[in-house]
Amino acid sequence: MACEEKGIPYTLTPAFPHSPEVLAIHPFGKIPAFRHGDVELCESRAIVTYLDSAFPGPKLIPAEPRAGAETDQWISLVNSVMDQTMIRKYLFAYILPKTADKSPDRSAIEAVLPALQQEIALLDKAVAKTGYLAGSDFTFADVNLLPILAYVVQFPEGKAAISAAKNLAAYYERHSARPSFRNTIPPPPKR
């Protein structure tokens, strides 16, 4: 999405976590891994910081101190807390359940729902001000959050929670129509 937003040509090479191609760049074998000439980076924040500094186009990490700090704050909150709740616990209870028959792990889903709903309410309040997660422009905070929401809305409790959060629902509807999102929409999870 960052490349699309900034108008940077790119080649997306599909690779699995822990594959030799990914391990050559990311010491823990995680996605994303990035290569531009002799620059090799891993982790979204580092990659987008490089792209934002090395290429022209709209700034995704604002230079103005307050807006930049708010963007960093939301990137950190989403990566350290919300990703754990929304992806590692909620989504994985559906797509990587630890049940004997591999059916969705209803006990894990029910256990994470209060945190999921609390975080969605927090996001709803945050985007109510300007229609963006941080500041009054589209930033890396939005780029970072949108793919997570794209997965959450594919499952019933997540879809219901986001639909009930008026501001967040409008935010997601508006920004998921962006060409950068539509051109890079995450693949549906295997169920």
Q: Which two tokens stand for residue 36?
A: 């531009």
Return d(Cα 188, Cα 89) in angstroms, integer.
17
Q: What is the mean pLDDT of each run of 10 residues along the chain (191 residues)?
A: 96 92 96 95 96 97 95 96 97 95 96 98 98 96 97 97 98 97 82 61
CA distance 165 to 139: 21
Alpha-carbon span 182 to 191, nearest angstrom = 22
CA distance 68 to 134: 8
Is the distance from CB of 140 to CB of 71 less than 8 angstroms?
Answer: yes
Ranges for all domains in the chain classified under CATH 1.20.1050.10? 65-182
DSSP 121-169: HHHHHHHHTTSSSSTTS--HHHHHHHHHHHHHTTSHHHHHHHHHSHHHH
Q: Which two tokens stand for residue 190?
A: 């295997």
Structure confidence at residue 140 (pLDDT): 98
pLDDT at 190: 67
CATH topology of domain 65-182: Glutathione S-transferase Yfyf (Class Pi); Chain A, domain 2 (1.20.1050)
| Whether the predicted model's global pTM rises above the 0.85 cut | yes
Answer whether 80's CB lies under 8 Å from 86's CB: no
The predicted structure's pLDDT at residue 188: 72
- The reported pLDDT for the residue numbered 76 is 96
Could you list the beta-strand ranges (E) of the chain: 33-36, 39-42
At 42 the three-state DSSP class reads: strand
Pairing state between β 39-42 and 33-36: antiparallel
Residue with tokens 């594959």: 19
